[in-house]
Structure formats: structure tokens, C-alpha cells
Amino acid sequence: MTDAVDLPGSVRLVLADGVTHLDPQTAVFEAMLAGWALQQRTRFLKAATIDSRLILVRRVMEFVNEYPWQWTCADVEAFIDHCRDRPQPIVVTTARLYESTLRMFLAYLTDSRYGWTTECLDRFGVAPAQVLHEWNTIVHVSDYEGDPRRRPLTYDEIQALFDAADSRVDDIRAHRRKGSLAAMRDAALLKTIYAYGLRRREAWGLDLADLRHNPKAPGFGRCGALFVRWGKSSRGSAPKRRTVLTVPEMDWIVPVLEQWSEEVRPAFGVGAHPAVWVTERAGRISLRRINEAFTTARDVAGLDPTLDLHCLRHSYITHLVEFDYPEKFVSTQVGHTYAATTAIYTGVSDEYRNRLLRRALSRHPDLWEQP
């Protein structure tokens, strides 16, 4: 059986034996971070996730001015309080992320299988301890704790957004400026994100081969469905895949995608490049540019500046519910494992609720009678 010290991230794998360090505390701290990174990589966590966690640990160490084996409950609590007192204070979800990350780091250090407790006792006479507990961390009492300003767009706001995106094409052409092709791309891109409820990375990763026929809806041609290959992953898993069907209420997206793929996209001169959304430099569009496409159209339309690209996904889910699609269908369309997750995204309109109320009242005509 493999010895416990051989676990990825153990002291023996990241801290050389028999070496005298000029600054042993710094050497041990850096080895701890290297070991924790190694342990996370073996779990196939994303590099960006690992890097952000290491940065947070460094921030705490610099704030406290003590090494992790010297941290106390008061030290970490002071760091969270400091983050709340900044000109742009952290929100509850960010604070919980900080606390869970630090708890995981300290759990790694205090796990005897990795050897850090013994190493710190031998070198410094003190061992790392878990300083984050139920009584000094944020209690999760609500299913949704996101920014309350993030909401679905109304039908009028969706139309205003798309009109603004389309008007940019005419404006650029009228002033004889460059960029009309990019503006046409951005308009088609935003419409596609809404019509299929896509996340930003899902839209970014679409290839032409992902435009699929749906045998049950032959009238939609090659735009009967989208095969999403870059769905949100979880716990180190690969990106999740799903097929999103084109719904009849969104059939207007079919000519939009056909015009883009058959007429506009070839004008970019991308040749055999597989991506659906391309740039003037014949490459795949960047994630940042997708955000910019939304914010530009939003500002031109005069919409609330707190709305962001993800609100289009909220809108898609809400509108499918208002179209009376079953919860299971909606969850499958957007790639949610649990219906409760879909419910968090839903913000049905007063008009829809009144329609349901009228439907219910029609089954009880006596309730319509005036007193």
C-alpha cells in the first residue's frame, strides 16, 4: 500500500529534505502553496480556479503579516471585515467564497496525511489549525444570494436591445466607418444567446458543426438545435454537453443564423476556421468581446446599466416558463441538473401571473361575481 506521505501535495514531494534554507518560513510557505496546487491539479480543477485560490491565500498572509501556521480566528475574521470596509465592499457570496477557500486550504494543512502539521511543529514549534468554523462563517440561509439587480429583461427591453444592436450597423454604414460586419456579428450573437439561453462561454465555443437538424422540426433546417460542448463544469469535471432545441416561439432566430453563417460570416475571410463567431483577424471571438457586444447595445438602448450579459439567460428561462413549457424541459434546455436551480433564474412577469390567475378563476365562475 502506498505510504500516506506520497499523496500529491505532501511535504516530501514539495519540500526537499536536508536542505538548509536562508529563510525557512518563506520556503515552507511557498512549498505549502505548491503542494496545495499539486493536490488540486490531481483533482483536475481548472488552472484559473487554482490560481485564484493561491492569490487569496497570499492576500491573507500579507494582510495578517503572519504565516498560515500562525493564523488565528481573529486574523481571518479581520481580513473579511477589511474586505467589507473597502470603497467597493465584497458581497455576501464573495465573502462566503473567501471563507470556503481558506477553510479548504487550512483543511489541507491540518490533514495529517500531507505531513504539514509535523513539519511545522519540528521547524517552528507551532502547527497550523483550522480557524474557520460554523460560528465564525456566513450561514447559508437563502437559495439565491446574488445581486438583486440582476433580473430577466422584459419583452420590450429585449426588443429595445436588439433594435439598438441592429441600429449600430446602419449607423456605421451611414458614417462610412469600418466595423459594420462586426456590428452585424454582435447583433446575431446577442440574439442567439437569448434564443438558446446560452452562457457566455457556451456561445464562445460554438462551431459551425454544432448547428444541428432536428428531425421533429425539419422546417428549421440546420438550425433546429444547437449542440453545446462548453457547458459549465463542476468539481473538476469536463465541460458538460447538451443539445438545446429551437423552440417555435424563437423561430425568428433561424433566418438570423442562416444569414450570419451563409452570407455575413464568409465576408470575414476565415476560410476553414470552425468557429461560429469570428473576428476580422480570422480567429474566434474573445469572451471579453462578447461582454462588450452586450454592454454597447445596452447603453445605446438606454437600458439599466446594472444589467449584464447573463441577464439574457435569465430572460430565456423566464420566457420559456411563461410560454408554459414544463420545468423539466426548461431545465434540460439550459443544462441545470436540478429544477430548483432553474427556479432561481425565473422571474415571471405580472402579465403571466395574471393570465394564470384568470385561467384559475375561469374554473370557478362564482368567484367572478360582484358582491
Q: Is residue 100 in some structural domain?
A: yes
Predicted confidence band of residue 208 (pLDDT cuts 50, 70, 90): very high
Residues 287 and 204 in one domain: yes
Q: How far apart are CA 289 and CA 45, in angstroms?
A: 26
Q: Is residue 245 in some structural domain?
A: yes
Contacts of 263 (CB under 8 A, 6+ apart): none
320: domain CATH number?
A: 1.10.443.10
The answer on pLDDT for 307 being more than 70 is yes
Residues 180 and 299 in one domain: yes
What's the Cα-to-Cα distance from 6 to each of 2, 118, 217, 299, rounded to whole Å? 7, 15, 56, 56
Report how many domains make up the chain: 2
Residues 73 and 22 in one domain: yes
The reported pTM is 0.71
Q: How far apart are CA 300 and CA 294, in angstroms?
A: 10
Tens-digit pLDDT profile for residues 43-60 = 888 898 999 999 999 999
Task: Work out the percent of the chain whose per-residue pLDDT is above 70.
Answer: 86
Q: Is residue 359 in some structural domain?
A: no
The answer on pLDDT for 4 being more than 60 is no
CB count, 10 Å around CB of 157? Answer: 19
Residue 76: burial class (beta carbons within 10 Å; 0-12, 13-18, 19+): buried
Q: Is residue 356 in some structural domain?
A: no
CB count, 10 Å around CB of 362? Answer: 10
Name the grid cell of 58: 497570499
Q: What pLDDT is recorded for position 123?
A: 93
Maximum Cα interatomic distance, the chain, rounded to a whole number of Å = 93
Phi, psi of 73 (to 5 degrees): -60, -45
Q: Is residue 284 in some structural domain?
A: yes
What's the Cα-to-Cα distance from 4 to each of 7, 28, 217, 245, 274, rounded to whole Å? 6, 19, 57, 49, 47
Residues 239 and 279 in one domain: yes
Residues 175 and 244 in one domain: yes
> Could you tell me the residue range of the domain that residue 227 belongs to?
155-351
Chain-wide mean pLDDT for the chain?
88
Residues 308 and 318 sit within 8 Å (Cβ to Cβ): no
Residues 187 and 321 in one domain: yes
Tens-digit pLDDT profile for residues 254-297 = 999 999 999 999 999 998 999 999 998 889 999 999 999 999 99
Residues 208 and 160 sit within 8 Å (Cβ to Cβ): no
Q: What pLDDT is recorded for position 77?
A: 94
Q: Is residue 143 in some structural domain?
A: no
